[in-house]
Structure 1
Amino acid sequence: MATSDKNSQRDLPALVVDDERDIRELLVLTLGRMGLRCDTASTLADARTLLRGQPYALCLTDMRLADGSGLELVREIAQLYPRTPVAMITAYGNQEAAVEALKAGAFDFVSKPVDIAVLRGLVQHALKLNAPPAAAPQAAAGGPRLLGDSPAMQALRATLAKVARSQAPVYIAGESGSGKELVARTIHAEGARAAGPFVPVNCGAIPAELMESEFFGHKKGSFTGAHADKPGLFQAAEGGTLFLDEVAELPMPMQVKLLRAIQEKSVRPVGANGEVPVDVRILSATHKNLAALVEEGRFRHDLYYRINVIELRVPPLRERREDLPLLAEAILARLAAAQQRAQPTLHPDALEALARYPFPGNVRELENILERAFALAEDSGIHAADLHLPTPRPSAALPPLPPPPPGIDPRRLDPRDSAASALPSYIEEIERQAIEQALVANRYNKTKAAAQLGITFRALRYKLKKLGID
């Protein structure tokens, strides 16, 4: 590894693994014209021997080899040589294999017959993955970053560092206002595409009749009002990242066209005769339960499978309340700098009020609350009364109690009973009923049940054990 740190990635050779001699020669010729030396192997055994001998700038491996699957090599490189980007060469149209390779740790894939332009772009991104760390501060200075020292945020940042090295599509799940776009921007800024554009688009804000033109562009005269050629969002994101926010809002016809664009890495502008290759990484997000929409037939399963190669969940603010002081301080500092005013003090009573508030709007709601308080704050700082937090609605009448399980006195399950243990028992029975209904509705798929309930898989597993649900 010391050699890898001292030399630049371009000083290291590339490894080409393919059992077809013609493909090996084509790849060696193409990489040679890019200034890369190449070692070649026709089998898994030969590739393993070469990898043990020295580090490589990148590895290109075929899916099918004489002595095994290229997926085995992808997994081994991801585990044993994590600084070596590996890309899979797949048969044309075999998108399942490409997705499987990405899940195994490949940073990208290229289909046969190999498109030289696509291959060149892939290699260029691979060489940027291990760029010197000195480039990181410049990227970090471009805007706000994920803040918080809670375990949930530490785990999220650790995952982002790994995800940023890949070119695989990422699906970001989370409630409204939790920071999904910020997560997407962080992935872009920490990856090999940081120097390229980051193009966010709200899929729910584009009229259906204009969607194809907005995404793929159009040629002059292709429809009424098309007075000139116009590039689409894919072309605008060339060499960078396209962030599809609220992807669940895409109409079904557009889902089909988007799937083809992602699979073929090319788009056809409206009115054009041919397709235009595009080099774009796709990140998508929605606050809706996308898996449930797939089950209901409202979102294409094949598109879901394609954009959900890697899934990230952004925790809501109520799951990381310990981050509130840090977030509030950063928001107030930004507001003070923007308005050229002194930063007000957030008094303890205000922090206590924020800690008790449920924040259904998450970080975005926190920003709105503090911005309003900042505008009205006196010189003494911000107190709880200055926050004007929404008052909780009066409690509704208790719902009908679920039937008690055998052997349990129903009076102990009534929260209106004076017994101290009645309320916990009642809540447990409500939880049990909701969990069992979710499990049945999702055919006992725990992952989907957890998503329907709005909790993590780990939280569901804990509750199953706690409630004794087998």
Structure 2
Amino acid sequence: MTTRQRALIVDDEPDIRELLEITLGRMKLDTRSARNVKEAREWLAREPFDLCLTDMRLPDGSGLELVQYIQQRHPQVPVAMITAYGSLETAINALKAGAFDFLTKPVDLGRLRELVATALRLRSNGGTEGVEDSRLLGDSPPMRDLRKQVHKLARSQAPVYISGESGSGKELVARLIHEQGPRADQAFVPVNCGAIPSELMESEFFGHKKGSFTGAIEDKQGLFQAAHSGTLFLDEVADLPLPMQVKLLRAIQEKAVRTVGGQQEQVVDVRILSATHKDLAAEVAAGRFRQDLYYRLNVIELRVPPLRERREDIPLLADAVLRRLSAESGLSGAELAPEALEKLKNYRFPGNVRELENMLERAYTLCEDDTIKQQDLRLADAPCSADSGEASLAQVDNIEDYLEDIERKLIMQALEETRWNRTAAAQRLGLTFRSMRYRLKKLGID
């Protein structure tokens, strides 16, 4: 006889408790009920649970405190928060604290059943930390930290904004969050927001009905419908035009979409992951990205480090790429000569892992005797580590301007690599903070 799964319901309103008990009972769950934080803690100490549903406002504390308590003492138990209608900030705070998901009052029973089913799938999966090791390579501290964060975020339904430079692996990170979570057996739908013509954007996202516009020769499913019960990954989300940002915000808030030419809204259950190589906060400040949409997408930010911040991973990555190339081509493998590897380790890689892959693919086809030499990398014409290049006297019109330009490039590089932390950038350059501040002012860097 199989043991029934068990849910803990925490709410001080008897009617709400009864509604949740009946609904979960019909889903073949055993339930235990608590009226406050104290009773909830007592139940958690006595019995194991597969899920917890808690109200935000409780007589002796808040649901947020309970979320934090369960995160610390019982991290394997998914917690969903029940909040008052319209209290979005409260729900976002709960997600940041580690809540699995949230519901608003009055509780929609269909949405409740979906949430419970998703949470129980998460419990039955048992968490699969380590499945990413074959793709998210690297033993450097930033990569070990990234893998831990991916595993943790996979257990939540919170929207995640993945920041990072072009070529750093943002889509791979999004896929791994999806694959390690409770939606793993549903669709992962990636979309490059910058690649869709603005006039087709609404149709692409929400679908259209036959005859709704010229060229609509048949009904078409949108990206939201295709990702129903799964994950929608919005890559280069900063490229969305403002009118589309409004429609996207509404779809996320209402959890429903209306097809172009359609009369009724369709309920959609999707987890939203987004990414861009741009600074999304700066786009908001410049008025190019809506602040309300930014707060909905950026509940939790996950930064993917650029390759230059984890140079110690380059040998491991290079070896994996060369083994893949050999397997795909059916040809013998190739190795990097020591001086070629040293050259790679000292290169800045503005294109990150993608650039490393392309560089090695080219070198693999050019090399002789299965050894990639320094000249096979073709780095002579590429930016060097300092990215400043060399200039002959004939190219220098004004030595002061020339030196100032080099200084500006080095300072900008240090600022970018420290995420605009001026103190850390000064330390990297061997400057005092006072000297750094003087140079920033002199060069007009804000």
TM bucket by the smaller chain?
0.7 to 0.9
Distance 2:433 2:31 in 1: 58
Structure 1 residue aligned with 2:172 = 182
Does the CA-based 8 Å contact 1:145-1:186 persist in structure 2? no
Secondary structure at 1:109 match in 2 = strand
Does the CA-based 8 Å contact 1:178-1:361 persist in structure 2? yes
The 5 Å alignment of 1:295-444 reads 295-389=285-379, 390-392=381-383, 393-395=389-391, 431=411
User: How big is the shift at 1:45?
Assistant: 2.0
Distance 1:326 1:183 in 2: 18
Does the CA-based 8 Å contact 2:192-2:235 persist in structure 1? yes
Does the CA-based 8 Å contact 2:187-2:227 persist in structure 1? yes
Which letter maps to 1:174? G
Does the CA-based 8 Å contact 1:62-1:89 persist in structure 2? yes
Does the CA-based 8 Å contact 1:59-1:87 persist in structure 2? yes
Structure 2 residue aligned with 1:4 = none
Report the count of equivalent residues: 421
Q: Which moved more, 1:262-271 or 1:124-133?
A: 124-133
Instruction: Specify every segment of 5 or more residues in structure 2 that has no aligned partner in the other structure, as ranges.
Output: 384-388, 438-446
Does the CA-based 8 Å contact 1:147-1:326 persist in structure 2? yes
Q: Which moved more, 1:373-382 or 1:97-106?
A: 373-382
Does the CA-based 8 Å contact 1:58-1:86 persist in structure 2? yes
Closer/same/farther in 2, CA of residues 335 and 152 from structure 1, 3 Å limit:
same
Which letter maps to 2:354? R
Which of 95, 99, 103 is 1:106 aligned to?
99
Distance 2:409 2:198 in 1: 45
Closer/same/farther in 2, CA of residues 460 and 17 from structure 1, 3 Å limit:
farther
Structure 2 residue aligned with 1:215 = 205
Distance 1:168 1:198 in 2: 16
Instruction: Specify every segment of 5 or more residues in structure 1 that has no aligned partner in the other structure, as ranges.
Output: 1-6, 402-413, 417-425, 436-449
What's the TM-score, normalizing by structure 2? 0.87
* Cα deviations by residue, 1:5-44 (Å, 9 ceiling, x for unpaired): xx99x73410111222222222111111111111112222
- 2:25 matched to 1:25? no
- 2:119 matched to 1:130? no
Q: Which moved more, 1:374-383 or 1:198-207?
A: 374-383
The 5 Å alignment of 1:7-156 reads 11-132=4-125, 145-156=135-146
Which of 236, 242, 248 is 2:226 aligned to?
236
User: How big is the shift at 1:229?
Assistant: 2.0
Q: Percent identity?
A: 61
Which of 261, 267, 272 is 1:282 aligned to?
272
User: How big is the shift at 1:455?
Assistant: 3.6
Secondary structure at 1:131 match in 2 = helix
Distance 1:260 1:65 in 2: 30
User: How big is the shift at 1:315?
Assistant: 0.8
Distance 2:409 2:167 in 1: 31
User: How big is the shift at 1:145?
Assistant: 1.5
Which letter maps to 1:467? T
User: How big is the shift at 1:135?
Assistant: 6.8
Q: Which moved more, 1:228-237 or 1:322-331?
A: 228-237
Closer/same/farther in 2, CA of residues 296 and 199 from structure 1, 3 Å limit:
same
User: How big is the shift at 1:379?
Assistant: 2.7
Distance 2:278 2:80 in 1: 32
Q: Which moved more, 1:32-41 or 1:111-120?
A: 111-120
Does the CA-based 8 Å contact 1:44-1:65 persist in structure 2? yes
Does the CA-based 8 Å contact 1:77-1:84 persist in structure 2? yes
User: How big is the shift at 1:427?
Assistant: 6.0
Distance 1:94 1:217 in 2: 30
Which letter maps to 1:372? R
Closer/same/farther in 2, CA of residues 21 and 457 from structure 1, 3 Å limit:
farther
User: How big is the shift at 1:131?
Assistant: 2.8
Secondary structure at 1:88 match in 2 = strand
Distance 1:164 1:468 in 2: 40
Closer/same/farther in 2, CA of residues 201 and 374 from structure 1, 3 Å limit:
same
Distance 2:4 2:309 in 1: 46
Distance 2:19 2:399 in 1: 70
Does the CA-based 8 Å contact 1:216-1:233 persist in structure 2? yes
Distance 2:79 2:39 in 1: 16
Distance 1:379 1:15 in 2: 65
* Cα deviations by residue, 1:158-188 (Å, 9 ceiling, x for unpaired): 1111111111011111111111111111111
Does the CA-based 8 Å contact 1:95-1:263 persist in structure 2? no
Does the CA-based 8 Å contact 1:168-1:310 persist in structure 2? yes
User: How big is the shift at 1:219?
Assistant: 2.0
Which letter maps to 2:432? L
User: How big is the shift at 1:457?
Assistant: 5.6
User: How big is the shift at 1:146?
Assistant: 0.6
Secondary structure at 1:454 match in 2 = helix
Closer/same/farther in 2, CA of residues 371 and 428 from structure 1, 3 Å limit:
closer
RMSD value, Cα: 2.8
What's the TM-score, normalizing by structure 1? 0.83
User: How big is the shift at 1:113?
Assistant: 2.0
Does the CA-based 8 Å contact 2:190-2:234 persist in structure 1? yes
